[in-house]
Amino acid sequence: MATQGRGGCSSRRRSSPPPSRCLRPQDLAGLRIAVSTGGTREPIDPVRFLGNRSSGRQGMALARAAADRGAAVTLVAAHTDDGVLADAAGLTVVRVATAAELDDAMADAAEGADVVVMAAAVADYRPAETSDAKLRKDAVDGPGRVLDLVETADVLAGLVRARRDGQTIVGFAAETVGSHEELLERGRRKLARKGADLLVVNAVGWTQGFESADNEVVVLAAGGDVVAEASGTKRAVADAVWDAVRAVRG
């Protein structure tokens, strides 16, 4: 028989060990954390959208790991694969669809947060106009259609601009690269542009990074130094990221 204890852990009368979640250090206790996850979808018409291949697994792993380590977590979730949010007990979940909605929701969540993690894959562009009716091929003269695109909001840069004293901001960068050196170079350039405290960089491709249970990342600190490298399950990567956050916060 099991009874519910503090933090959702079970206190068992038998000699079997408690769930692994109960054994984790509570080293993020007292922190309020906002995490984004998933991929935004920018509507073209009621049927189609511009999107990306993000499953939301890494952001969910970050949120779950932070909560398991004692933090109060708000998870702002764009589109995620089926089942990704199944383990969201104890999290405050805010669902969004577009980059603009994500921008607003993360700004709200960041107001009271000690740590903000932008793990969501945000569409860089959206259609300049969204049609209220399905765009039909027979309504176009010629073999193709041209869509005018405009840039979406830079959510991470906006969070950095609005950062309050004592707040730690973590960004993510997914890059298609030919070498580890190129990955670091691109990550350092992005970190310099964005001004985050930490940037988690990973290589992606047709069979790498997205839609996978595993990940491999490098964590860069302001100034470009490598402060952590991690590979394995996305939960293992999440814990490595939180270790880096603890280190940079002192």
HSE (CB half, 13 Å, CA atoms) of 198?
27
Closest CA to 44 of 163, 137, 126: 126
Distance between CA atoms of 170 and 193, rounded to whole angstroms? 13
Say what the pLDDT of residue 23 is.
66
Q: What are phi and psi of 194, to 5 degrees?
A: -85, -35
Domain that holds residue 241: 26-129+146-249
- CATH number of domain containing 186: 3.40.50.10300
The two tokens of residue 92 are: 């405050």
The two tokens of residue 182 are: 């190129």
Say whether 202 is catalytic: no
In a domain, 30, yes or no: yes
Q: Write the pLDDT tens digit of every residue in 145-167.
A: 899 999 999 999 999 999 999 99
In a domain, 15, yes or no: no
Say what the pLDDT of residue 141 is.
73
Number of structural domains found in the chain? 1
What are the start-end ranges of the H helices in 134-179? Answer: 155-161
Query: Which residues of the chain fall short of a pLDDT of 50?
Result: 1-19
Instruction: Name beta bridge partners: 33.
Output: 73, 115
Closest CA to 130 of 53, 47, 40: 47
In a domain, 135, yes or no: no
207-235 CB burial, b ≥16 within 10 A, e <16 = eebbeeeebebbbbbeeeeeebebeeebb
Helix (H, G, I), strand (E, B) or coil at 233: strand
pTM of the predicted structure, to 2 decimals: 0.88
In a domain, 204, yes or no: yes
In a domain, 63, yes or no: yes
* Residue 120 Cα distances to 35, 78, 98, 158, 167, angstroms: 8, 7, 11, 14, 19
In a domain, 91, yes or no: yes
In the set 52, 55, 80, 98, the catalytic residue is: 52
